[in-house]
A and B are shown apart, each in its own frame.
Chain A
Amino acid sequence: NAGVTQTPKFQVLKTGQSMTLQCAQDMNHNSMYWYRQDPGMGLRLIYYSASEGTTDKGEVPNGYNVSRLNKREFSLRLESAAPSQTSVYFCASAPSGANQPQHFGDGTRLSIL
């Protein structure tokens, strides 16, 4: 059971470069999420998609864009990477309904020089 798969696992970028982080889930979940995790800050929501075709901003959306390509895939794009975006990025998915736990991928570790 793959669950939530994120690619790549590691990436180093230079300031100003662009990149897309990929996420795919095989659990037929409607909702998908992108978080970033920074030391001392916990996980913070960047964007989420409650269903295919919809996306909404989370707590820290600036500098990012997302695409819900289909029900399985939800990508996160950095158009012009900045050192402040160095972080570990997690994708998660969940079924519809408020009382369903989110399932997380193993993360993408991104460093921006």
Chain B
Amino acid sequence: KQEVTQIPAALSVPEGENLVLNCSFTDSAIYNLQWFRQDPGKGLTSLLLIQSSQREQTSGRLNASLDKSSGRSTLYIAASQPGDSATYLCADLVQGGKLIFGQGTELSVKP
């Protein structure tokens, strides 16, 4: 069964810290790995998409990496801010056009 796992389930950091969120997946034949942000009571917003042939993608203070051989992806957030507080989800796109989601990491950035 294809599975995506995110560790930790929750994380609290002081403002200004750099942090790493982890995502592992069981299906090495992925098409891409996507990171989303979800604010309370809202839908998901796409942050970064890493194609299977790529190793990383960057957008502003966010950097996502992909290592297919080990089945891992990380999301690095630099200089965290209270506005970064949200739940972050990773998902891999597998055969059939289906996204398999992890359960998310709930991030709290304290002022």
A interface list, Cβ under 8 A from B: 4, 31, 33, 40-45, 48, 50, 56, 58-59, 90, 92, 98-107
Contact = CB atoms under 8 A, between A and B. Distances in A.
A59 B91 CA distance: 14
Given A50-B97, A104-B44, A105-B43, A42 B32 contact: no
Interface of B: 4, 31-32, 34, 36, 41-46, 49, 51, 89, 91, 93, 96-99, 101-104
Contact of B104 (A42, A56, A90, A104): A42
B32 A99 contact: yes
A59 to B, nearest CB: 8
B97 A48 contact: yes
Contacts of B31: 98-99
B43 A4 contact: yes
A98 B93 contact: yes
- Nearest 5 pairs of A and B residues by beta carbon: A104-B43, A101-B46, A43-B101, A104-B44, A42-B101
Given A43-B44, A102-B46, A104-B43, 5 more contacts: A43-B91, A48-B98, A98-B97, A99-B49, A102-B44
B42 A58 contact: no
Nearest to B51: A99
Given A42-B102, A99-B51, A106 B32 contact: no
Contacts of A100: 49
A40 B104 CA distance: 9
A92 B31 CA distance: 18
B42 A107 contact: yes
Contacts of B36: 104
Contact of A103 (B46, B49, B102): B46
Contacts of B32: 98-99
